[in-house]
Structures are given as C-alpha cells and as structure tokens.
Chain A
Amino acid sequence: MIATAAPGWFLEHAYVIPLIPAVAFALIIAFGKRIPDTRIGRYTIPGGGSLIGVASMLGSLFFAAGAALQWIQYTDGENYVAAVRKSWVWWQSGGIEIGLGQQIDGLSVMVLLLVAFISTLVQIYSLEYLKGDRRYTHFFASLTLFSAGMLVMVLAENMVQLILGWEIMGLCSFMLIGHWWEEKANSRASLKAFFTVRTGDIGLLVGTAIVGLSAQKWITANGLQDQYSGFSIEGISRWALAGDSQYKSVLTWGAVALFIACIGKSGQFPLHTWLPDAMAGPTPVSSLLHSSTMVVAGVFLVARLYPVFFEGLRILDTNVNLIAVIGGITIIVAALLAFVQTDIKKVLAYSTVSQLGYMMMGLGVGAWTPAVFHIWTHAFFKCCLFLCAGSVAHSGSHHSFDMKKDMGGLWRKMPVTFVTWTISSMALAGVPFFAGWYSKDEIIDIAGGNQYWVFFAIGLAGAFLTTAYMTRATYLTFFGKARGAAAGIHDENHSDAHAPAPSAHGAADAHDAHDAHDAHDSHAGPHESPWLIKGPLVILATLAIIAGLINAPAFKIFKFEEWVEPKAMPVSLTGETIHEGSARNISVGAFGLRTSSEGESERKPVAAEGDGHSPTEGESGAEEHSAGYPGSAIEEGHLTGDCGTPGFVPAAGTTCYAPGVIHHEFEWVKALPAFLLVVLGFIISSAVCVTLYGKKRRPLAGLTERNIIARGLYKFLWNRYYLDALYEGVIVRGIAHPLARAMYWLNQNVFDGIVNGAGRSGRKVGEITYKYVDQGLVDGVVNGSGAAARGTGTALRPTQSGKVSQYGALLFAAAALAALILVLVNS
C-alpha cells in the first residue's frame, strides 16, 4: 500500500530546523556584543544577542512542531511509511558520495521536537539565570550552536553528517562546561569531558568506516548505488537487515566500535566519569546537556542504527549482549554513586547516567520503542529537576549547590520550586501515572517478557535505588533544618565558601551574576525565583505529568508507538508494503523455542502474488531458526514485524529498514513489583534521612565513623569506585609511580645484579684481551682508520659552516643537479 498523503511542506523542508540556530549563532557572534540592554518602562529587554538565540530556538520549535503534526498525518500507524529523505552532495571520493541532507522519520521528528522545545525553555531560563555574566553573549552563542549541532545530528541523512553534528556538540559542550574557565576545576572538568568523549569517538570513526564501506560494497554488489550511498542511514539499515552471511563478523565489529562511541557520549559505565564533572558548567547547560542533547546522542545513535546493533550484537538471539550488559551495569553503578553526593547537581548527574543506562538496557533487550519513549519523558522531568536545582541555587542557597551545607527547609520559602521538583522527582522515580512510569515500566516489562531475567531484576533494583536517592536529595534540600546560606548565613569570604573539597565544580556558579544579583536582593535570604525561572519550571513539571500519556499501555493508548516506531515489514524497493499483517503473536515455548501463530483475523496475511515471495515461507523460516531465543517460560508477545527475526531474509525485490519489536500485553499485576519497590524505596530512604539528618534524635548519624563496613562502603562510593583515580592516576599520569618504583627496584636489584656480575667477569676477560689483542692488533687498525677519518674531516670541514641557509642552498643545488641529470638521461 502506498502512503497516499504527500509528506507536506514542513517534512520536506525539515532541514531549516537546524539551519535557523546555526545562522543565529553567526549573528550572535558577529553582532551580539553591540546590542545593549534596552529599558522599556519597568522592563529591561536583555541585549547581548541573547534574544537572537531565544528567537532562533522559537523558530526551530515552530518548524519542528509543524513537522511533527505533518508526520502524524503522514503515518497511518499500520504500514511502513518511507522516511522523507533529501540529500545534497557535499563531497565525493573514490566513487562514494557523501551528502548533507535530512532523513525524517518518526524517531527524528520526535527528537527534533524535543530538542527544540527544551532548548527554548532553557534559553528563556538562562536570560534570568546568567544575567550580568561576564561572557553573556558568548554563552548564548555556544548554547545556540549546541542546539544546532544536536539538530544536525538528529536529522542526519548519513553517518558523516551525523559525525558532524556529534562533533559540533562535543566542541560546544567543552566551551559551555568550561564557561567559567578562570577556575582551575572548571577548565579541568571541560577538558575531561572533551577527552573522555573523544576516547569514545575513536570508536565512532572506526565503526563508521567499517559499517559504511561494507554497506557500500553490498550496495554496489546489489546494484542499488543509485538509491543509497553506503554511508546513508537507510543504506546501512538495509545492508544490516539483509541477512547476508558474509558480513556477519563485520557487522559485529562495526556494532562494537559504534557502541564504544555511545559509551563515551552517553556516559555509560566505564566512561561515565566525565558526566558528573560536567556539572562545572552553568546550570542551564547541565540541564540542556543532560536532558535532551549530548548524552542522549549516544542512545539516539543506537536507536538510529538499530539494525546494525540488532544484527551485529544478536539482540534477542542470545541471552546476553554488550548493550544490555553495559546499560545494566550503568543503572546500578550510577544509582549507588548518587547516594553519597552532597552536591545537588551531582545527584542529578548520576541519576541521568543511571537513566541513560535504562535506555541502553532497553535497546539491548529489544525494547526499542520504550527506550526511545524514555528519551522523550526523561527529557522533561530531568530538565525540570536541573532547572529546579538552579532555581534553588539562584534564589535559595546563594549560588551554592551543597545540599548538606547550604540547603534544607526550603519548601516553605520556595513553594513553586518545591512542587515542580517533587513532581519531577516522582516522574523520575517512576511513580505510577507520572511520565517516567510509562516508559520505564515498559522497558522493565519487555526485559522480563523477552526472558532477560537478569536485566529485569536490574531494572527493578534501579527503580528502588532511584526512589531512594531522590528521596534523600529532596529531604536534604527542602526539609529538615535550614543550614548555611538557606538559613540566611552568608560567608562573606566567597572564595572559601565556594571551595568545598571534592565537589568544588559548579559551586562557583554565577560568580559574576552574583554581583549584579546582590544589588537587587541585597542578601535577603531565601526567596522564590522570578517568573523567567518559574515559568519554564511550571511548563516542564506539567509535562512531567502528562508527557507520558501518549504511550500508556495501561490505558490502551499506543500513539507514540504508532507515530515513532518504524514498521518492521518487508517493503518493496520503492517503499510499498508487500503484504499486510506480518505483525503476529508469538510465544516462547517451553524449551526456548519460539513458536509463532497468525495475528488477529483482520491482520491476516494476504499473499503477494507473482513476485515469488510467500509470507508463510518467511515465517516458517523464522520458526526453524528461532531455537536460539532466550528463556524458557511461556510468555505471550506481539511482534511488530518479521524483519530481524533469526533466519528471516527478505525476498528478492524487497527490503527491511528496522527490526521488529516485541510488545507484551500490559497487566496491572506485572506493574505491581516495580510500584512496591518504589514505595519501599521511599519509606526506607525517608526513614534513614530523618534519622541521619533530622532535627532531633539521630541514631544513625556518624554511622560511617563507627561502623567499619559502612565506612568502607562509603569511602568506596565517595571515591567513585576509584575509577577517576584509575584514569587520572594510572592511565593519564603514564602508569605512574608504583609501577615506576617497582621497575626501579627491579632495575637496581635484578638487572643491575646481572649487569654487574656480567661486568665483573667481563672485566677479567677484558684485562686479558686488552693486554694482547687490543694493544697489539686492534689499535693499529683503529689508529689507521682514525687518521684517515681525520684527513677526510679536515677536507670537508669548510662545508660544515653550521649555517642553515647554506645547507638549504646546497640541498636545493644538489636537487636541481639531480633533476638536470634525470632530464638529460631521459631525453
């Protein structure tokens, strides 16, 4: 069935979405500093080019919203709809054309809308938050370019364009994290972020080369080079799903290399250390970085090239795979770290890492749609949480982010911030009917349904931990006794106040803004923030409640699935669906055998005639090869298409663009364990918090000093599993001192012993040799050659003037002479 509606203007011209902020960036850089603040009545219109940034993001948002609406009209939720592709040749080399263009499908439309929306709110928030900053213009320029980079990446038509956007983001994150680079800690943090991500980026380049060149080879072999370049997203997807056995190992290595890039960018387990340090940047930056851009890029890449990972790492086909393992480890590791942080932004940073782990794990267990949906919901509440933290620091705790020193008891003083924070925390924790619940719960559900029991358990444990650490952060910030700045105590010596030992980054937020700020609040103590800050908070908190409703299995709403999930049916090369109803019910049989049955009656396959492809053939093939599917318990599921199932090879003339996703029926009973764990986490954590930080009796206070196990655990977490120490102390400082000392000892005692021993015996031999061989025979020869060398040296000495220019002249003269000879000989 051909999609009847034309894509529509906004979809055809989606490339303007990143173009607007890119142009705005140039404008801000060129003219920003010359625009002064203007005063109209009571209001001050901020200058410095910041409004250009806000306006450009609003423009992008408008176009992205238009594109989203048209996409909703364009898809029908049932059949495959071809992505709206456009490409202009950028450069070509060796027969491979690299284009700049757009690839607009459900995924990119969703992320485009998200990025434009969050960026707009963050920029509005920054108008107030960074007022009076010393690099105000520079900040807005970088922020705008940053959004542009993400947008370029999201609608990239091919891998090279994707890398372009990816790297723009890397650069801008470096500039923004190090925005207050005068502080040594901040510039170190930005360098760390940059280099850690770069480490992963090696994987991106290698992976792109592997995947792109192989896809190009396959495409040329199949005579498709007029339709796709090997580096285009669609070309790679088709190649990966074609099931060509000769590319099996290439796919695996390509997927691993690309995933290393995602580990770096999305702060997954071994390379997550840069993310908490990135808190050194201004709070709006953290908010943007951690909600919809930058760290999501890695998850987006996996979702984008899902066929490569699906086939390369054999997701669903094996009991365990790299993506799920890394995601699972990240969930737990990061959530545990969040417990020992005193810096409110660092709690949120680790929570982001942990949530990214959820997304990765979701992708790893075949839960494509919920994982992508989690990007969507997570962006709203995480952005809101960061902005709340910023609001607290801005108006409540006098630019400090230290929960233990400068916060507490703020809920009465800052009601709006408190309420929005609480709502977002509940969404993050996955309390039912908040946005985060719908996405997170389905990830956990599919992990269980697809027989990944370990990851199912990790998901549940993560939900428990998330609730617990968010309860702790909420308690420390908003309840209990007001401490430090929150109690109105200002340490006049700011340089001291802003340097608490390991969490110094970020504490120095808004040094400059500070002075301007003091003028109007004159140390008035904690109070609520102005509307430019409250507005975005309220909008985001509202979305933290309702954004999940577009895909609520609990209420049989599957809009997101309809709009965003690529339809995994074989289609003809022109994008027509070959036969309807390849979606079917499957069940995992008793011995790990996955058997399939036909779908509901209205989805009955209609055999396509005349093209030699019968759907039953494909399905029986899938059945035969599905013995390797994991698990043993019987679980019903709904597979959205044959593509990607083991052994399924699209027939001649047809193709696949995405692997199928298995959806499992929602049941309230299945959602119960997660909910109970959330409640349990809340109760335990509140109890512990009250006993630890409460007003009166504190039986648990000082536990880490008294109990050796608790102390050891605390130290282990406080030092972040010693990973930073490992990277900086061991790897960065060149396999440092202990090894060097060991080598020195080895050198002194072992090697020297051997050498000395050899030396002593050698000397004996030497003395004998000296007397007879050397003096008599050798010296004669040596002296003779010495004399000869001296003679030559004296003769050649004048040419060695030590003057470089003279040497150069001789060199060129000799070259010219050689050339002359060459010409003469050849002619």
Chain B
Amino acid sequence: MLLNQFLLLGAILFAIGVYGVVARRNAVLVLMSIELILNSVNINLLAFALRNGGDPTGHTFALYVIAVAAAEVGVGLALVLLVYRNRRSIALDELSEMKG
C-alpha cells in the first residue's frame, strides 16, 4: 500500500492551498485555495480508509466533506458576488472595514 505517496500528495495540496489563502488578493482564488485544502483532507481520509481495508467510514466522511465544500463555495461565491456589486472589486486587502 503506497500510503506515503497519498499523504505526500495531500500535504503538497494542503501547502499550496495555505499559500493561496494567505498570499492571494483575489477572493475567488482564495475560495479555490480553500477547496484545495479540503480536497487534500479528502485524500488523507481516503488513503487511511483504504489502508484500513476499505473502511466505508472514511469514504462517508469524504462524501460529507465534498457536500459541505459545495455548500461553502455556494455561500462564498454569493458573498464575492455581492461584494463585487457594491465595490466593483474583489481584492481582499481593500476590504478592511471590519477592522477593530
């Protein structure tokens, strides 16, 4: 079982995702990066599920994550759309009205 490879792939995806979330200005790209992070988690879940002899729990969790991710992207995109309508821009660093 090539567990390491799966975990490595997951880790790389996760790192790319974190980079995207932290360093990108474009809100859509940030959403996409979050998606990457979630999927890297999915890979880990499935990899461990397979190592445990095809344990369906891991699959179930991965499915849940996918469903939740879809909902999250829906809400996120709606937010981005509204922000764009109001400000004609989706650069995140310009959105700092919430600062304390």
Residues of A whose CB lies within 8 Å of any CB of B are 93-94, 793, 796-797, 799-805, 808-809, 812
Contact = CB atoms under 8 A, between A and B. Distances in A.
13 contacts: A793-B100, A797-B100, A799-B100, A800-B98, A801-B96, A801-B99, A802-B96, A803-B95, A804-B30, A804-B92, A805-B23, A805-B92, A812-B18
B22 A812 contact: yes
A802 B95 contact: yes
B99 A804 contact: no
A804 B18 contact: no
A766 B21 CA distance: 51
A804 B22 CA distance: 8
Interface in B70-100: 92-93, 95-100
Contacts of B92: 803-805
B38 to A, nearest CB: 14
Contacts of A801: 96, 99
A472 to B, nearest CB: 50
Contacts of B95: 802-804
B39 to A, nearest CB: 16
Nearest to B99: A802
A812 B17 CA distance: 11
Nearest to B92: A804
Contacts of A793: 100
Determine chain A's interface SS by DSSP, over half rule.
Answer: helix
Given A802-B95, A804-B27, A812-B18, 13 more contacts: A93-B59, A94-B56, A793-B100, A800-B98, A800-B100, A801-B96, A803-B92, A803-B95, A803-B99, A805-B21, A805-B93, A808-B21, A812-B22
Most B CB contacts (10 A, CB to CB) among A799, A800, A804 go to A804
Contacts of A804: 27, 30, 92, 95
B52 to A, nearest CB: 14
A803 B22 contact: no
B12 to A, nearest CB: 15
A22 to B, nearest CB: 27
Contacts of B96: 801-803
A800 B92 CA distance: 15
Contacts of A799: 100
Contacts of B97: 802
A803 to B, nearest CB: 5
A810 to B, nearest CB: 10
A93 B95 CA distance: 46
Contacts of B18: 812
A803 B59 contact: no
Interface of B: 18, 21-25, 27, 30, 56, 59, 92-93, 95-100
Contact of B98 (A94, A802, A805): A802
B95 to A, nearest CB: 7
A428 to B, nearest CB: 47
A797 B100 CA distance: 5
Nearest to B59: A93
B22 A805 contact: yes
B33 to A, nearest CB: 9
Nearest to B98: A802
Contacts of A809: 22
B21 to A, nearest CB: 4
Nearest to B93: A803
A641 B17 CA distance: 65
A134 B46 CA distance: 48
Contacts of B22: 805, 808-809, 812
In the complex, which of the residues B18, B23, B24, B25 has the most CB atoms of chain A within 10 Å of its own CB atom? B18
B77 to A, nearest CB: 15
B99 A800 contact: yes
Nearest to A816: B18
B18 to A, nearest CB: 5
Contacts of A94: 56
A342 B27 CA distance: 54
Contacts of B27: 804
A243 B10 CA distance: 51
A799 B100 CA distance: 8
Contacts of A808: 21-22, 30
B24 to A, nearest CB: 7
A812 B24 CA distance: 15
Contacts of A800: 98-100
A808 B25 CA distance: 12
A753 B28 CA distance: 50
Contacts of B56: 93-94
A486 to B, nearest CB: 51
B22 to A, nearest CB: 5
B35 to A, nearest CB: 14
Nearest to A797: B100
A801 B98 CA distance: 8
A426 B38 CA distance: 63
Nearest to B27: A804
B96 to A, nearest CB: 3
Contacts of A796: 100
Contacts of B21: 805, 808, 812
B54 to A, nearest CB: 9
A812 B37 CA distance: 11
A802 B97 CA distance: 6
A805 B92 CA distance: 8
A799 B99 CA distance: 9
A812 to B, nearest CB: 5
A793 B95 CA distance: 21
Contacts of A93: 56, 59
B10 to A, nearest CB: 14
Nearest to A794: B100
Nearest to A798: B100
A609 B18 CA distance: 75
Contacts of B59: 93
A800 B98 CA distance: 8
B64 to A, nearest CB: 15
B87 to A, nearest CB: 14
A337 to B, nearest CB: 40
A17 B59 CA distance: 35
A614 B92 CA distance: 81
